[in-house]
Amino acid sequence: MKNNITIAGLITTASLFALIGVALADNKMMDDSLHGSMMPSSVMMMHPPRPMVLTVSNSGHGLLRGVVTSVATSSISVASWGGIWTVTMAANTTIVPSNGLSGIAVGDYVGVSGGVSGDSPMINAEYLRDWTAKSNSTMHNDSMMHSPNMTGTSSDSMTHH
């Protein structure tokens, strides 16, 4: 009986430490104060808030989903597969919600559709969706950003027109 109580106590203690570790990791997701930056921490890169996606068609049209690491006047940087991607905006880029780049912040989870540069990790955005800004949003693997050049029902199947 005494051994059962001791084993139960050890299991409870181990579970508590695991729970505390998860809570501390969640708090560290965007604050890398050791290095004084707001870049996604290593914890963020290992456990992104939603799946990171990179799909590129044979014609060079891509779909990228990841976490915003910086916002500039006409571009953003997004951490996703392959590292940090530069996403450039043009006057005809559709941004949803429609409050433009001013509504996008570091740490937001975004999806981008557009032409992929062959020289560097860069996408010329035709369509940008800020999934974080849409508070009622539930994104599923079968949801696809709408683009005039993209059709399909999942990130695994994509057809370029």
78 and 20 housed in the same domain: no
Sign of CA dihedral 25, 26, 28, 29: positive
Assign 5 a pLDDT band (cuts: 50, 70, 90). low
Structure tokens at 30: 């965007």
The predicted model gives 126-150 an average pLDDT of: 60
Enumerate residues 6+ apart whose C-beta is below 8 A from 114: 61, 62, 87, 93, 123, 124, 125, 126, 127
pLDDT, residue 137, reads: 44
Q: What is the pLDDT of residues 28-84, one digit of tens each?
A: 444 443 334 445 554 455 455 678 899 999 999 999 999 999 999 999 999 998 899
**Helix, strand, or coil (residue 24):** helix
Using DSSP's 3-state secondary structure scheme, residue 27 falls into: helix
100 located within any domain: yes
- CATH number of the domain at 97, please: 2.40.50.320
* Whether residue 84 sits in one domain with residue 6: no
Whether residues 77 and 155 share a domain: the answer is yes
Query: Do 88 and 10 have their domain in common?
Result: no
For 94-122, how does the pLDDT look when each residue is reduced to its tens digit (9 = 90+)?
999 877 888 899 999 999 999 998 888 99
Residue 39 lies in a domain: no
Strands 94-96 and 75-80: unpaired
Which structural domain range is residue 152 located in?
Answer: 44-160
Q: Report the distance separating Cα 161 and Cα 59, nearest Å.
A: 9
Cα separations in angstroms, 155 against 33, 72, 99: 34, 27, 26
Mean pLDDT computed over 17-21:
48
Assess whether 75 and 138 both reside in one domain: yes
